[in-house]
Amino acid sequence: MKTYRKIEIGAVRKGKTQSIKISFLAHDTPSSMLKESLDEYLEVAKFCYEYKKIDDKWKPFNKGGCLGYPGGVILFSIIDSIGSYFRNNKNFKMQIDAKEVSINSVGWEHFKILNSKYFNQNLSEDFIKVLYNKFRSILMHNSVLGKDARMISNNEAIPKYQVRDEAFFIGKNMIDGNNIYMISLKELYELCKTAVEEF
SS (H, E, C) 56-73: HHHCCCCCCCCCHHHHHH
Q: Three-state DSSP class for 156?
A: coil
C-alpha Rg value of the chain to the nearest Å: 21
DSSP 163-180: --S-SEEEEE-TTT--EE
Listed ranges 62-66, 73-77, 178-182; the one with the highest mean pLDDT: 73-77
Q: What is the mean pLDDT of the chain?
A: 87
CA–CA separation, 149 and 139 (whole Å): 11
Please state, as a whole number, how many other Cβ atoms lie within 10 Å of the Cβ of residue 174. 7
191 pLDDT band, cuts 50/70/90, is very high
Which residues have C-beta within 8 Å of that of residue 46, sequence separation ≥ 6? Answer: 189
Q: Where are the domains of the chain?
A: 29-198
Tell me the whole-structure pTM to 2 decimals. Answer: 0.83
50 pLDDT band, cuts 50/70/90, is very high
Instruction: Please compute, for residue 118, the number of CA atoms within 13 A of its CA located in the half-sphere on the CB side.
Output: 24
**41 closest CA partner among 68, 67, 76, 65:** 76
Helix residue ranges per DSSP H, 51-167 = 68-84, 125-130, 138-142
Q: pLDDT value at position 162? A: 57
pLDDT at 115 over 60: yes
Listed ranges 16-20, 23-27, 177-181; the one with the highest mean pLDDT: 177-181
Q: Are the C-beta atoms of 136 and 149 separated by less than 8 Å?
A: no
Q: pLDDT value at position 34? A: 86
